[in-house]
Structure 1
């Protein structure tokens, strides 16, 4: 019989992994709630018409398309099937797809539920997304995103607050990070001054890879897309800014003197810097012009977060989008959002040993089972402890005590309680502290106090 497997880029999660993952999700959820964000969920599958064309050409290729139920071939002619054209086949045989991110489904949600929403609307969403990508370290085909968006407000104070959320989440997780900032208006200004306004996507797609492949390979990619040497020479100084954040923006202001949209982007970044200067940030903020965020719907500030102590790609990202809902017929709604990559955060925390010990603790107390009479005596006591918030369990069979102790040991249960006839008569418990190797005799009240000391 063939051994079962799972698709590449997807994973099972055991109890310890789930405990750690919930530590991340709970931390993010608590911080979102502190800032007034409310939770929604959208379905796993969306209409392909909702998803296609929203993520650029590369994003469209990475969408998981779902074959229509029933006879998916009924509308195909023999000629079409013999043509073996995968793209045309998918377009005709698939009406639905797995969501690629949470932002486009959110825009669809806003359009469908506009009459029920009070603007500005602050939502957060923690759900899995799917991408038909090549699996590698830190890149999975199924992974969770933890998004927060404000829609219906153009105020840059929203960007400042989202940066505070990022800073607070990583402060709580104990992770040192750098937040990279840029603005799509600046990137538009760069395209304008080098004379390639109509090729902004080509420029942003290439320079987004600057830190991965280096400047010359970025230029080689642009040459392959018919950029002239003159255009590349105009681009070179724009990618070589140095100094502090404000010094970079000052140099940029001179280089983009002829671009109105470029100057607007610089003003927006200065507003964000002016306001974050007054906040007690733990994270480092850095202006980075190579940051382009491949997704085509960003229009203003864009950001990405990198861990300082681990070799990992972006662990959070986001930006401003001025008219995302316009793609669904509802114009004039500006939004800004961020997303935490929970799976990458997990890998970084694991690598750096930053998960707290109690994040992995399941059962706190195991009650040993010596027989039916003892079990009957213990059940109401265990029920009272559970009501008091103690995670406890009774070993189901009255088997050898060595086996029960081994069970507790393998599951890292810190306390084992032994209750035999003597304990029943005295109303006390023998507690074994598995971590210290100590044994104590305690009352029920003392047991509670000992566990929470």
Structure 2
């Protein structure tokens, strides 16, 4: 007996209703991306391994899905190499391609590869799936969509200001209130590492600090000590673990803490510019907050970093994030480094939040507006003549394909949540039944169109 088919853990099938809801979110995002001047691009689902590896840190590299070479993928591997069980060395010989981990590194590759065709500064948005070999849990999948907006070729901090506004505009249109846009700056983190004498441990320091909300203060300290950061150094930054107050108050505390770090002071200046101008311009619903523990584990951020927290009424991790990467294109073209900044929307998590808060409009899942019943070839042909006219008027309409029992056709309409049924057509008059409320009327074609609109 054949086993029941299944799908890999961390992946999902999407029903027509789920796809409609997802398209609703994407439609709002796309609309705002284009209002803000971003242009769409797409890149392949998989890249050469050398394009991706080494760009996300050791932790990120482990989560990249590798693709086995086609044909005899062990052809280049000797028996001695197989017996050494050196997986890193072996992987490079049996896998030359990998599924993309995010959209930012492929975007950097795209910019370098097409730089002679691009007008800079280049503002692009991209909505495509990515893959990570992560442990599946609520809101965390192995295959999921990212929705990115990036600007490359400009160092202006007005881009960061606009990206905060873009986040606010999208979440406002989605009806999502209580969203917090957290902001920090990698220069501040570098400055902190400098003043505690741990500049050589910057990556270890930031990766551990970024886990504060997950493993708590003691967990972060334990991880830092394990990575070689001294307890004396940790005492110097004890204030970071209880960093409260308004944005201005937090900036004042940072000015004291980083008074001896030029790098740290540069980060403070950048944060001041962004926060002050966002405040002056105003936000519709989102709240901007300075979070000095925000590090984001990706190595390529060099300036402002963002993370978006869902409303506190739902149990969900971040639903967006991003930042400034001054030298990302330099990893592909060391002679032509271009500054960039971008943000990403976590489509799947946003979907779950909207679902939990019941924020999807009812019209999102309305597919067909009216179903014509089928009584045979003659009646079906007449129905299709009317259906063709309705479709040209952008009315979503369908014909039941078979000459089945009327009850069966009605049940089909009910199960698909189709609100109207045309029972019959006699001398150009349509018998229209509203199966939601049960009322029925005789209408002309013009009246039918008016009723359906």
TM-score (norm 1): 0.97
Instruction: Tell me how far 1:191 sits from its aligned partner.
Output: 0.4
- 1:393 equivalenced with 2:398 (yes/no): yes
Aligned to 1:249: 251
Determine the C-alpha separation between the residues in 2 that align with 1:323 and 1:83: 37
Q: Which residue of 1 aligns with 2:315?
A: 311
* Counterpart-to-counterpart distance in 2, 1:99 and 1:384: 45
- After TM superposition, which residue ranges in structure 1, 4 or more long, deviate above 6 angstroms? none
Q: How many residues align?
A: 448
Mark the runs of 5 or more structure 1 residues left unpaired by the alignment.
Answer: none
CA distance in 2 between counterparts of 1:195 and 1:114 reads: 40
Alpha-carbon displacement from aligned partner over 1:303-328 (angstroms, at most 9, x marks no partner):
00011131111100010000100000
Q: What is the DSSP-based 3-state SS (H/G/I as helix, E as strand, rest coil) of the residue aligned with 1:310?
A: coil
Match of 2:452 in 1: 451
- The question of whether the paired residues in 1 share the 8 Å contact of 2:201 and 2:229 is answered with no
* Secondary structure in 1 matching 2:29: helix
Q: Distance in 1 between matches of 2:199 and 2:49?
A: 30
Counterpart Cα distance in 2 of 1:238 and 1:313: 21
CA offsets 1:383-426 (integer angstroms, 9 cap, x no match): 0100101010000111111101100000111111111xxx422x
Q: Give the Å deviation of 1:224.
A: 1.2
Q: Give 1:450 deviation, angstroms.
A: 1.3
Secondary structure at the counterpart of residue 227 of structure 1? coil
The Cα shift of 1:366 comes to 0.5
Q: CA deviation at 1:449?
A: 1.3
Of residues 204, 207, 225, the one that matches 1:205 is 207
Distance 1:368 1:332 in 2: 64
Deviation at 1:87, TM superposition (A): 2.5
Question: Is 371-380 or 180-189 further displaced after alignment?
Answer: 371-380
> Is 1:292 the equivalent of 2:317?
no
The Cα RMSD (Å) is 1.0
Give the match's secondary structure for 2:32. helix
Matches within 5 A, 1:135-174: 135-174=136-175
1:357 aligns with 2:362: yes
The match for 2:336 is 331
Partner of 1:411: 416
Structure 2, gaps ≥5 residues long: none
- 1:123 and 1:390 map into 2 onto residues whose CA distance is 33
Counterpart position of 1:34: 35
- Equivalent position to 2:278, from 276, 283, 287: 276
Where 2:239 maps in the other structure, the secondary structure is: helix
**1:239 to 1:262, Cα distance in 2 relative to 1, 3 A:** farther
For 1:41 and 1:68, the matched residues in 2 are separated by: 24
- Would the aligned equivalents of 2:240 and 2:293 in 1 still touch at CA under 8 Å? no
In 1, the alpha carbon distance for the partners of 2:360 and 2:68 equals 40
